[in-house]
Amino acid sequence: MSERDEGQLVGTFPSIPKQIRAQQKRLALLESGRSLFIKKGYEQTTAKDIASYAGVATGTFYRYFSDKRQLLLALLEDKMEKLMPPVPNWMHRNPEQLLASLLENYNNSLEAIGIHRVLPELLPKDPELSEVMLEARKSLHARIYKGLQSAKDEGLTWKDLDLDIVAWTIILMVENSPEKAEQSGSPLEYDEMAKVICRLVFPPQIMEKLCVSKAESKR
């Protein structure tokens, strides 16, 4: 494992291309690796495969990346924010509708990237990456918790709501939604997901007021 600066998961790259042609080769290798990791899996993909798929020599791969792990981590660092579930705005005049839109955009983005499919294979074997992903999830939890606290302070949530548990529940529900869709064989119903999550947060009378505000805003 290569040495890395604090906060930098990928470590030091063998070289950073400055010329446009070299940058294009590096980007081609990144896209090649992303495609092959998704198609073949991480373990079954080699640096030689990635180079061949990108149309460059294997030596070119090692000019830019120390190994396939560094390439994968470069992909993950670049997409880390998009791999994390969205942060709802509970103070929005129609949080359910907003959340449904956020969930749809999140899952569409996740599918377009595709790299999340490699994580279940890699995380059990890579403690360092597991730690980074955990810290990212903790940061996400803190942001969701803060939003819930603001809504609770405004008297919008259940009075006895355990914000910590609800924040983690929301993360788990959203993270597992692609797997749910795959196992059930039916597409995700974002409106229904948003409805369930909002029912966890808001009492019925609050939801009624929000629905009234929504109807009035359309007049």
Instruction: Give me the residue spans of the domains in the chain.
Output: 20-78, 84-218
Of 89-93, 154-158, 171-175, which range is least confident?
89-93
- 19-25: average pLDDT: 93
Residue 35, amino acid:
S
Q: How far is CA 114 from the centre of its chain?
A: 10
Q: Is the pTM of this model over 0.85?
A: no
Please state, rounded to an integer, the average pLDDT across all residues of the chain. Answer: 89
**Rounded Cα–Cα distance for residues 9 and 32 (Å):** 20
CATH number of 84-218: 1.10.357.10
**Rounded Cα–Cα distance for residues 74 and 78 (Å):** 6
**Rounded Cα–Cα distance for residues 12 and 3 (Å):** 7
Q: Does domain 20-78 have CATH number 1.10.10.60?
A: yes
| Closest C-alpha to 74, from 33, 38, 124 | 33
| Closest C-alpha to 74, from 97, 50, 100, 90 | 50
Structure confidence by residue, pLDDT tens digits, 25-84:
999 999 999 999 999 999 999 999 999 999 999 999 999 999 999 999 999 888 888 899
